[in-house]
């Protein structure tokens, strides 16, 4: 058997293996996708060799490429795209969820990238690449709509749910990574910018919530502050995404002596947090030993200050803003003074039971940060 005949036989063998891949709409396993990736890569190499050989070999290579292309377009790529989309955390749809032995979204993304590369190297048209790009564009639109739902507010008095927004930002980041793996690098960059913009806006909103309480402390602004700080971990997720956007802006060549949008948002957030915290500490100091409604409210204030301490402590290791450390030290000093004041009160005969509850809240707050 001549070298040309061996190459032709090898090409036919790989072609038959690819044509035998006929996935249903239920699932594909990770092993099955690994084999598919290996086969289309080997087939692209074989087609390339056939095209640089004698005219007879070129014709055989073109016929094989056409057969594989038709099969991938009709039977394989639609399933890859449908299952990839269904398994993304922010897209989903009406299709079935993932079964125990099905491949992951990342496995599908790798397979989609392999099919895209196969057509670039061996295909005679752009049907596969067009279908893949169309689906990635649709995924990007879905993510954009999802995030923009959080960002649409009726007035300056309305604010998004930071908890839900933070979770959707994480979902968009997972989609961004999968889309990048699938070959949609520009789409992934769009999603990254979307997540960063949403994070900056959320931080700006949180800062305005804090400023509103400082300016007009009432039950409504207190409720907004509690709602914002009730999700400390989610708020930290958003802040960390703002820091990522800062790094991206600096790498892109932003002016070294001008604050980036993210840095300005964080500075405003830190300033607003400091002003609000000072106001709450004033309230706590004034009403710490009070009875009745004032005493009940001061417990709510102490619970909020516990979240503030956690947030400030976490920011110390991630946000390079001097005021973060200074504000945290000031908050900690005043919380310790409140603790000592309550301890002195409880040392007196007949101290109200409510004082012990308030002391327990402060001690828990200090323990949270190892103080």
pLDDT of residue 76: 92
pTM higher than 0.75 = no
Q: What is the mean pLDDT of the chain?
A: 83
Please state which of the ranges 68-77, 87-96, 348-357 shows the lowest mean pLDDT: 87-96
35, pLDDT greater than 90: yes
Q: How far apart are the first and last CA of the chain?
A: 81
Angle at 297 between CA 212 and CA 353, to 5 degrees: 155
Residue 65 contacts residue 47 (beta carbons within 8 Å): yes
pLDDT higher at 363 or 215:
363
CA distance 240 to 82: 32
Give 193's pLDDT tier (boundaries 50, 70, 90).
confident
Strand blocks (E) in the chain = none
116, pLDDT greater than 80: yes
Give 37's pLDDT tier (boundaries 50, 70, 90).
very high
Burial of 74: CB neighbours in 10 Å, binned 0-12, 13-18, 19+: exposed
Q: What is the total residue count of the chain?
A: 371
Q: Which residues contact 325 (CB under 8 A, 6 or more apart)?
A: 316
pLDDT of residue 249: 62
pLDDT of residue 56: 67
Tell me the mean pLDDT in the region 320-342: 88
Give 55's pLDDT tier (boundaries 50, 70, 90).
low
For residue range 262-319, what is the model confidence (pLDDT) as tens digits?
677 788 888 888 888 988 999 999 988 888 888 888 998 999 999 999 888 888 877 7
Phi and psi at residue 211, to the nearest 5°? -65, -35
CA distance 213 to 109: 47
Q: Which of 112-116, 168-172, 174-178, 275-279 is the most confident on average?
A: 112-116
Tell me the mean pLDDT in the region 243-257: 62
Give 331's pLDDT tier (boundaries 50, 70, 90).
very high
pLDDT higher at 232 or 255:
232
pLDDT of residue 91: 65
For residue range 129-155, what is the model confidence (pLDDT) as tens digits?
999 999 989 888 888 888 888 777 655
Phi and psi at residue 257, to the nearest 5°? -105, 10
Torsion of CA 203, 204, 209, 210, to 10 degrees: 80
CA distance 84 to 92: 9
């Amino acid at each position: 058997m001549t070298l040309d005949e061996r190459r032709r036989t090898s090409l036919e063998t790989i072609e038959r293996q690819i044509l035998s891949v006929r996935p249903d709409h239920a699932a594909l396993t990770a092993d099955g996708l690994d084999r598919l990736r290996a086969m289309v890569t080997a087939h692209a190499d074989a087609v390339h060799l056939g095209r640089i050989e004698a005219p007879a070999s070129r014709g055989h290579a073109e016929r094989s490429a056409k057969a594989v292309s038709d099969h991938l377009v009709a039977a394989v790529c639609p399933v890859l795209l449908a299952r990839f989309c269904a398994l993304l955390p922010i897209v989903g749809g009406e299709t079935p969820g993932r079964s125990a032995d099905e491949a992951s979204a990342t496995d599908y993304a790798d397979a989609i990238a392999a099919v895209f590369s196969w057509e670039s190297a061996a295909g005679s048209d752009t049907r596969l690449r067009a279908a893949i790009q169309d689906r990635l564009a649709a995924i990007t639109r879905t993510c954009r709509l999802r995030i923009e739902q959080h960002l649409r507010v009726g007035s300056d008095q309305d604010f998004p749910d930071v908890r839900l927004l933070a979770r959707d930002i994480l979902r968009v980041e997972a989609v961004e990574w999968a889309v990048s793996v699938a070959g949609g690098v520009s789409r992934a960059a769009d999603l990254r910018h979307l997540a960063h913009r949403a994070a900056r806006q959320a931080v700006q909103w949180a800062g305005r919530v804090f400023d509103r309480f400082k300016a007009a402390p009432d039950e409504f602004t207190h409720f907004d502050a509690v709602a914002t700080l009730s999700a400390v971990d989610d708020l930290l997720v958003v802040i960390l995404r703002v820091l990522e956007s800062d790094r991206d802006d600096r790498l892109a060549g932003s002016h070294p002596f001008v604050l980036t949008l993210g840095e300005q948002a964080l500075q405003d957030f830190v300033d607003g947090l400091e002003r609000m915290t000072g106001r709450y500490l004033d309230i706590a100091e004034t009403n710490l030993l009070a009875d009745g409604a004032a005493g009940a409210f001061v417990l709510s204030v102490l619970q909020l200050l516990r979240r503030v301490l956690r947030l400030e402590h976490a920011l110390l290791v991630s946000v390079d803003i001097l005021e973060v450390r200074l504000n945290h030290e000031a908050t900690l000093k005043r919380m310790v003074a409140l603790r000592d004041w309550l301890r002195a009160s409880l040392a007196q005969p007949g101290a109200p039971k409510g004082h012990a509850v308030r002391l327990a809240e402060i001690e828990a707050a200090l323990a949270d940060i190892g103080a």
